[in-house]
Amino acid sequence: MIETQPTGGRGAATGQAVIDAAVHNEVPSTRALFPHLPDYWVEHVTNTMFKGPTEYYYPQNSPIAARPGSRPPADDVAAPINARTRAAAAAGPPPASTLGVVRDQVLDAAGVQAAILCSPYPVDSLHNPDAAVAFASAFNDWLIAEWLDKEPRLRASIVVPIQIPDLAVREIERVAGHPGFVQVALPVRTQHPLGSRIYHSVWEAIERHNLVAAVQFGGMPGNPPTPQGWPSYFYEEYVDMAGVFATQLTNIVSEGVFDRFPSLRVVLVEAGLTWLPAHMWRFDKEWKNLRRLIPWVKRPPSEYIREHVRLTIQPLDAPADDPKRLLQVVDHLGSEEMLLYASHFPRVHAADPERTLLRHLPESFARKIRSENARALYGL
């Protein structure tokens, strides 16, 4: 059982190194991708109503989408393409859309040694496969040119058109050799469960290139985010996203993905963690009853999860005034290697992970969460 540490325990700003496992940078405008897009798509964007991916995982004006100070000055962002895009530009640049902002707000904070970019660029919302792969490729080339080649403290996730697995594999093969890419970004909401054989070629490419699969909050597959259909409010979708993560994790294990790809590593980004212990208990219990239906799953599901799966610690769903409850949940995970510190900049989460969790842990465990688990996962 984890013992509660004094409230004044050491934090990230008092000497321990930090690796930020999830920073959600965005492209400032479609125009910023023009140097990396084929001429056909530059002309198409300029002369038609099509402006590339425009359906975002977070509503642009959501109060939790952007922290104060996370939007760059308007002068740092390319001018609108034409009159049709001026209205959107007038609302201000997207948060975390320039390297300067991420340097100032994340990388130059006390103790931060490295950060992993997990962009939510929604190419999965494009139904035209040629557009999806063109914009994914342009975005990845933009990441290289404007972020990775300019800042050695950064690593990044490859954006892929997951709705077309063959093209997703092609994009992984194209850029996986760049040393700045350490994982592949997969939205948690997909047209088919991620364990489906449809995606096995994607998992194979991720494992073969020694990359991590980052299953992250969001996704625009076109189907409803709940089994009952479309909710009325983003609030409902946001609360229910933990259930989507649980569903994907159940499917990945049950379809034998970790049996087929034994060195595969998966990190659940912005999934939270408090739901997982109870889910593993139920998962193991039902596996004992129904394992004959999935004979390729040779071990209890919780063993696969502890071995192959990591989670970023936000959002922290726990009472701030009683750290012992959260410590009990963390203890029930049964592993000190599963959790990664992540600011999720520029997102806004109510709980302060330092005050709510990290300062109450033994120093060695807190160090693993702040840096050592991510260092091992990403080979930093």
- The answer to whether 147 touches 153, Cβ cutoff 8 Å, is no
Return the percentage of the chain with pLDDT > 70, whole number.
91
Q: Is residue 177 part of a domain?
A: yes
Residue 165's closest CA among 225, 206, 218, 135? 206
* Structure confidence by residue, pLDDT tens digits, 14-69: 468 999 999 999 999 999 999 999 999 999 999 999 999 988 888 877 888 888 88
- 84 or 117: which carries more pLDDT confidence? 117
Give residue 7's pLDDT: 36
Q: Is residue 2 part of a domain?
A: no
Q: Is residue 4 part of a domain?
A: no
Query: What pTM did the predictor assign?
Result: 0.92
Q: Is the peptide bond before 94 cis (omega within 30 degrees of 0)?
A: no
Give residue 1's pLDDT: 56
Rg, Å, the chain Cα set: 20
Owning domain of residue 32 = 12-378
- For tokens 């991916």, what's the residue? 53
Q: How confident is the model at residue 88 (pLDDT cuts 50, 70, 90)?
A: very low
Q: Is residue 7 part of a domain?
A: no
Q: What CATH number has the domain bearing residue 135?
A: 3.20.20.140
Q: Is residue 167 part of a domain?
A: yes
Q: With a cut of 90, say whether residue 85 has pLDDT above it.
A: no
Q: Is residue 316 part of a domain?
A: yes
Give residue 58's pLDDT: 87
Q: How confident is the model at residue 84 (pLDDT cuts 50, 70, 90)?
A: very low
Q: How confident is the model at residue 75 (pLDDT cuts 50, 70, 90)?
A: low
Distances (CA, A) of 221 to 16, 40, 187, 189, 193: 40, 25, 9, 7, 11
* Structure confidence by residue, pLDDT tens digits, 136-174: 999 999 999 999 999 999 999 999 999 999 999 999 999
- The answer to whether 120 touches 216, Cβ cutoff 8 Å, is yes
- Kindly report which listed range (226-240, 251-265, 289-303) carries the lowest average pLDDT score: 226-240
CA angle 311, 150, 371 (to 5 degrees): 30
Q: Is residue 263 part of a domain?
A: yes
Q: Is residue 93 part of a domain?
A: yes
Residue 18's closest CA among 136, 109, 93? 109
- The answer to whether 159 touches 188, Cβ cutoff 8 Å, is no
Q: With a cut of 60, say whether residue 12 has pLDDT above it.
A: no
Domain count, the chain: 1
Average pLDDT rounded to a whole number, residues 280-297: 96
